[in-house]
């Protein structure tokens, strides 16, 4: 079982809002102060574009730990997920070789056809697999 201090440190690290659209400066300062209390000196410096922070003086191992904590505590920016489709449907239609003219029939909850959408004709060779993509808002 984890020690109380370890759990306290992890709870503090996880508590930082490190969403990619926000600054992670508070996390970096916390790590810097923690390391300083344990005898490790470090310095926060701007990188070239002056919008990101970088850690210097920690060595590869400690720098890797900072990156690991950042990756483990980063929350996904889910704003664009609002436009994902409610459902995705896939159909497999076996056809014989030659020209195929598939159509999609949209049915209601009673099984009645409410709309028919013709898809482009495709040439299918014997034993060949063809994949068609179709997107609709119906």
pLDDT, tens digit only, all 138 positions of the chain: 557 777 788 788 888 887 766 777 888 888 888 888 888 887 777 655 444 444 444 455 566 677 777 777 776 666 666 677 777 777 777 788 889 888 888 888 899 999 998 988 989 888 888 888 887 776
Same domain, 22 and 71: yes
3-state secondary structure of 80: helix
Strands (E), the chain: 43-46, 53-56, 98-100, 103-107, 113-118, 122-124
Same domain, 32 and 98: no
Q: Is residue 107 part of a domain?
A: yes
User: How many helices and strands, by DSSP H and E, does the chain display?
Assistant: 3, 6
Are 103 and 117 contacting, i.e. CB atoms less than 8 angstroms apart? yes
Q: What is the DSSP string of 8-46?
A: HHHHHHHTS---TTS--HHHHHHHHHHHHHTT---EEEE
The 10 Å CB-count burial string (b at 16+, else e) for 39-62 is eeebeeeeeeeeeeeebeebeeee
Same domain, 9 and 65: yes
Same domain, 67 and 97: no
Same domain, 51 and 114: no
The reported pLDDT for the residue numbered 62 is 64
Burial class of residue 104, CB neighbours in 10 A (0-12, 13-18, 19+): middle
Same domain, 11 and 73: yes
Instruction: Report the domain count for the chain.
Output: 2
Parent domain of 19 = 4-78
The reported pLDDT for the residue numbered 112 is 94
Same domain, 66 and 104: no
The reported pLDDT for the residue numbered 113 is 93
Same domain, 113 and 50: no
Are 95 and 122 contacting, i.e. CB atoms less than 8 angstroms apart? no
The reported pLDDT for the residue numbered 2 is 57
Q: Is residue 138 part of a domain?
A: no
Task: Please tell me the pTM assigned to this model.
Answer: 0.35
Same domain, 71 and 92: no
Same domain, 66 and 122: no
């Amino acid at each position: 079982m984890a020690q109380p201090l370890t759990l306290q440190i992890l709870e503090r690290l996880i508590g930082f809002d490190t969403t990619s659209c926000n600054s992670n400066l508070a996390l970096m300062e916390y790590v810097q102060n923690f390391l300083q209390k344990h005898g490790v000196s470090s310095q926060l410096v701007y990188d070239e574009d002056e919008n990101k922070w970088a850690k210097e003086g920690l060595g590869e191992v400690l720098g890797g730990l900072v990156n690991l904590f950042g990756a483990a505590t980063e929350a996904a920016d889910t704003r664009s997920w609002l436009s994902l489709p409610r459902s995705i449907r896939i159909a497999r239609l076996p056809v014989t070789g030659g020209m195929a003219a598939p159509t999609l029939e949209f049915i209601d909850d009673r099984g009645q056809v409410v709309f028919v959408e013709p898809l482009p004709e495709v040439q299918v060779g014997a034993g060949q697999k063809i994949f068609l993509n179709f997107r609709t808002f119906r």
